[in-house]
Structure 1
Amino acid sequence: MTRAPRRPARRTLALVAGVTALGLPLVAVPAEAHGGAAPPAPPRTGFETSNGARWTTEAEEGSFLAAVDRASDRVGVRTVGTTKQGRPIRLATIGRDASGRGTASQGASGPGSAAPGSAGPASAATTVLLVCTQHGDEPSGREACLTTVRDLAYARDKETLRFLARTTVLVVPTANPDGREADTRGNADGIDVNRDHLALRTAEGRALAALIRDRRAELVYDLHEYDGTSPYYDKDLLALWPRNLNTDAHVHDEARTLSESYVRRAAGISGFSSGIYGIWTDPHTGQPLKQVAGDGQERILRNTAGVKHSVGLLVETRIEALTQAEADDDARNRRRRVTTQLVALKGAFAYVDERRGLLGAATAAARHTGFADRGPVLIGGADNDPAEPAETLQDPPCGYRLDAAQYAEFGDELALHGVTVRRDGDGVFVPLRQSRRALVPLLLDGRAEYRLTSGRPVEAC
């Protein structure tokens, strides 16, 4: 564990309470840096000021992030989308690229060119994207994300500054603002945003797709909560990597390492129980009994991230009271849920710091394999459920042709996914030989369950 900064001799200090998201004490700030006066106190969320008695409101989120943005030159806050009900989808950028250059745009690429962000030199910094509260009735991740933005902005300890010098942290504190306001799982149209990362029917899904396309995060970390079933499915924290079989093997292995060796390990060190999302276990032996969730659907963010060559991870904290004390005190229950999320985030940041070379190598190599245009594409199955022959495109076509009407309807979605197309008569040709090779059949093959449309396979290029 890192030691707290030592108090300098003969110097008056104004201390900032709290810890950074890396688990390090927030810095002691010299009072003379503020003309001898105590520095302004860091802003606090509604959750913090109420000690967990209530969740932070949307208005409080806006004020909080604006205050952090004003106070720190290492933070930039902007709006990357607007919901059906007119609420902003905010992005906070911390670290190497606080200006947020290249963040989401919801326009389409024209035919004949690569989509924005699909090529160009990679940044020397590792980019981490935190997606918080896709489900509006799962708010603990949002609170953890908000305070993480603040704590990284105000940190002065050497370890955190070194981390931020090599890392860009992107945070979407509320990925489903309308759902959070209504305390519903879905958005204003009742759509589950975490089932919309292929079709992109929602403003929320489109904003996240553009972020993933333009910022090419090496790690996409998705914060959720779950309802448990005692005694088979009742851990403080559950986590799961991309199970989709089109995830590059090295990316898959890094995601599993993140889950099992860092996030769950951090939970255990802090006294929280953990498990694999979707798996019921025997309470006596710990052996798996059955799978109730957590498949390889490509439309779910952790899987979409894997198919798009990012290390994706789903994390879930348990909503129900775990003790009588929590049952008697909702604030105690909320504080435990948020604390568990923060502990898991500490593990994720430790992973980035310790394995950034391996993480960067895995994701960079995966982004280039599609240009070789080799190997099957799987339209079903998972890493624990082998694809059936009917779910295996053993010899995929060299691409798919969309007619003018199909491209008019789905061109924007292809662009948001970062898929390259070429003009072909009155329509377009979508080649498999590109970075998003495995994604193309999932979007356009008539056999894919969650396809956008059925393109015409082109067997010879």
Structure 2
Amino acid sequence: MTSHKRTLGLTTAVAALAAPLVASAPAQATGTPPRTGFEQTHGARWTSQPEEQRLLAAVDKASARVSVERIGTTKQGRPLQLVRVGARNAATTVLLICSQHGNEPSGREACLTQIRDWAYAKDKATRRFLARTTLLVVPTANPDGRAADTRGNSDGVDINRDHIALRTAEGRAMAAVIRDHEPDVIYDLHEYGATPEYYDKDLFDLWPRNLNTDPRVHDEAETLSQDYVRPAAHAAGHSTGTYGIWTDPVTGEPVKQTAGDGQERILRNMSGIKHALGLLIESRVDPGTPAEEADEPLNNRRRRDSQLAALKGLFRFSGERAGHIDAVTDAARLAGFRDTGPVYVGGADNDPAEPAETIQDPPCGYRLTKGQYAEYKDELALHGITVRPTGDGAYVPLRQSQRALAALFLDARAPYHVTEGTPDTNC
């Protein structure tokens, strides 16, 4: 985000705080709040797509706080939607991505419940928070997969492995939202299957591990996890841990890592590369108690409620640390213009990159042929990568905000590169 845009956002936020509270915060909805299908059945089933559409239409109509827009369409014709709640152009923007995997519905239920609650909230603390913060929600990031109860979309593609190539309508829609709104925090809601004793907490979370994440962004995302999200979950009676790490049931020490690496095609890591505080959150699908084993709706409610509890930590973090969050993400967005330092094509924050995984002296940029540019210009644009068209194709400089992403997209050494640009070392 440009410094001018940030200044406007900060000015808006300051003005909102100086004005009377009723004037600064859009009016809450009136009337009877709509309920999700999940709530109507007390957790016996998940909210259907028609029920979701009715709820979103109702809160959009009833509340000046809420607006709903279509950001894409799935292959099967279902809408991809973005819900905006709270202030416009606030200094801090938080994006929730709900249920990228269609068979992981509890995050979606938490998002729908949260949207409705924001629309109707009357308490002073929530109104003040909404006056200072832009909240964006993609309530169902994989509508076709949710309808079919499948992990992938209607083509069987795992959307959460498409955040660099952008071959899916779902991945493209999310990339456009991130490019256009430059969220400071990207919070990605999922579920997981437990391995009893070693890997069976109510909630796991994880920050960006990709080594191209600005260290300040990385550390602030870890603070979000350790000091806010996990304590909020604990306060509600839920156990927590680090995603992808098995622990010894007796000592609590790490045993092995089974997931949660630094690959850039996953949203958690792409968030960090794009200078946002990314956090993955995973609730346990499996029953954790005999009571949950005997009562499926009870287990379903625990899955949803644990997500809602963690969200309270996210919102407290966003309210208490707004100024610091903005300073960190602003600095990270500007760092690429210095065009210094290595680019990493492997490794993670807990797995140092090997020499072969480090581009120690990156080129000045990459040149694309006419054919390459014609084929990939849309994806480059969706990522917000700066490109200069030339007579024989295009030039992608590395002196830009998306410096690392440009290299990961175009360098042959990057494991998920989309096309192979010609390195330009004539700086």
TM-score, structure 2 as length reference: 0.93
1:265 to 207, 224, 231: 231
Query: Which residue is equivalent to 1:333?
Result: 299
Q: Distance in 1 between matches of 2:162 and 2:389?
A: 27
Q: Distance in 2 between matches of 1:173 and 1:423?
A: 36
Query: Which residue is equivalent to 1:449?
Result: 415
Kept after mapping to 2: 8 A contact 1:299/1:450: yes
AA of the residue aligned to 1:399: G
Query: Which residue is equivalent to 1:280?
Result: 246
1:89 to 76, 80, 98: 80
Give yes or no for the alignment of 1:43 onto 2:34. Answer: yes
Give yes or no for the alignment of 1:307 onto 2:307. Answer: no
Kept after mapping to 1: 8 A contact 2:90/2:134: no
Count of residue correspondences: 400
Q: Distance in 2 between matches of 1:46 and 1:186?
A: 23
| SS in structure 2 at match of 1:79 | strand
Aligned 1:2-21 pairs, distance under 5 A:
none
Give yes or no for the alignment of 1:374 onto 2:340. Answer: yes
Q: Distance in 2 between matches of 1:232 and 1:357?
A: 38
1:157 to 113, 120, 123: 123
Q: Taking every aligned residue pair, what percent have the same amino acid on both sides?
A: 66
AA of the residue aligned to 1:392: T
Aligned 1:248-263 pairs, distance under 5 A:
248-263=214-229
Give yes or no for the alignment of 1:435 onto 2:398. Answer: no
- Which structure: larger Rg? 1
| SS in structure 1 at match of 2:403 | coil
1:170 to 129, 133, 136: 136
Deviations 1:388-435 (A, max 9, x none): 000100000000000011111111000000001112222000000000
Kept after mapping to 2: 8 A contact 1:96/1:125: no
AA of the residue aligned to 1:42: P
2:58 to 51, 67, 72: 67
Q: Distance in 2 between matches of 1:186 and 1:426?
A: 38
Query: Which residue is equivalent to 1:235?
Result: 201
Deviations 1:258-309 (A, max 9, x none): 0111101111111110000000001111110100000000000010010000
Q: Distance in 1 between matches of 2:178 and 2:389?
A: 25
1:348 to 308, 311, 314: 314
Give yes or no for the alignment of 1:53 onto 2:44. Answer: yes
AA of the residue aligned to 2:167: R
Kept after mapping to 1: 8 A contact 2:91/2:326: no
Deviations 1:111-163 (A, max 9, x none): xxxxxxxxxxxx44310000000000000000000010011111111100110
Kept after mapping to 2: 8 A contact 1:307/1:438: yes
Query: Which residue is equivalent to 1:203?
Result: 169
Deviations 1:329-358 (A, max 9, x none): 110010000000000000000110111111
Deviations 1:162-211 (A, max 9, x none): 10111010010100000000000000000000000000000000000000
Give yes or no for the alignment of 1:358 onto 2:324. Answer: yes
Deviations 1:193-231 (A, max 9, x none): 000000000000000000000000000000000001011
Kept after mapping to 1: 8 A contact 2:70/2:82: yes
Kept after mapping to 2: 8 A contact 1:370/1:432: yes
Kept after mapping to 2: 8 A contact 1:206/1:416: yes
Q: Distance in 2 between matches of 1:226 and 1:174?
A: 17
TM-score, structure 1 as length reference: 0.86
Kept after mapping to 2: 8 A contact 1:239/1:275: yes
Aligned 1:406-425 pairs, distance under 5 A:
406-425=372-391
Q: State the Cα RMSD in Å.
A: 1.1
Q: Distance in 1 between matches of 2:210 and 2:66?
A: 34
Kept after mapping to 1: 8 A contact 2:411/2:421: yes
Q: Distance in 2 between matches of 1:311 and 1:142?
A: 20
Deviations 1:214-251 (A, max 9, x none): 00000000000000101100000000000000000000
| SS in structure 1 at match of 2:69 | strand
How big is the shift at 1:323? 1.4
Kept after mapping to 2: 8 A contact 1:238/1:315: yes
Q: Distance in 2 between matches of 1:423 and 1:134?
A: 34
How big is the shift at 1:40? 2.2
Kept after mapping to 2: 8 A contact 1:131/1:175: yes
